[in-house]
Amino acid sequence: QITLKESGPTLVKPTQTLTLTCTFSGFSLSTSGVGVGWIRQPPGKALEWLALIYWDDDKRYTPSLKSRLTITKDTSKNQVVLTMTNMDPVDTATYYCAHRVVGATVFNYWGQGTLVTVSS
């Protein structure tokens, strides 16, 4: 059974760096084809893909936020970490991590999400 869970601060101040951790079980990020992505959703708004890391440590980012994002993995801990620098109130959103379907960049298992509010 695949599960994912996001953890991190619920409140960050403008200009601070956000660090979110996705802890997963039921699969290995060292298995060929596997990937974990981060997707966010501002309150009442649509989904926005942020970043994706593959089993071979290939990393991809949404172009508009690439300069602010870093995604890493710790295979031994079954964790993926997303950092986002220079946080702004417009970054207030629920942040999800999700398991990528092997062979297609769609997400079939999602964490419950964590709401991050950016406010001074």
Binding mask 2-41 for other proteins (x = CB under 8 A): ----------------------------------------
Q: Tell me: does residue 102 bind other proteins (CB under 8 A).
A: no
CA distance 43 to 58: 30
Stretch 41-100 residues interacting with other proteins (CB under 8 A):
46-49, 52, 60, 62-63, 96, 98
Question: Cβ distance 36 to 28 under 8 Å?
Answer: no
CA distance 60 to 36: 11
**CB 86 to other proteins: min, Å:** 21
**CB 16 to other proteins: min, Å:** 25
SS3 label, residue 60: strand
List Cα–Cα distances, 105 to 11, 79, 93, 96, 113, in angstroms: 30, 19, 22, 15, 19
Contact residues: other proteins, CB under 8 A: 46-49, 52, 60, 62-63, 96, 98, 101, 104-108, 110-113
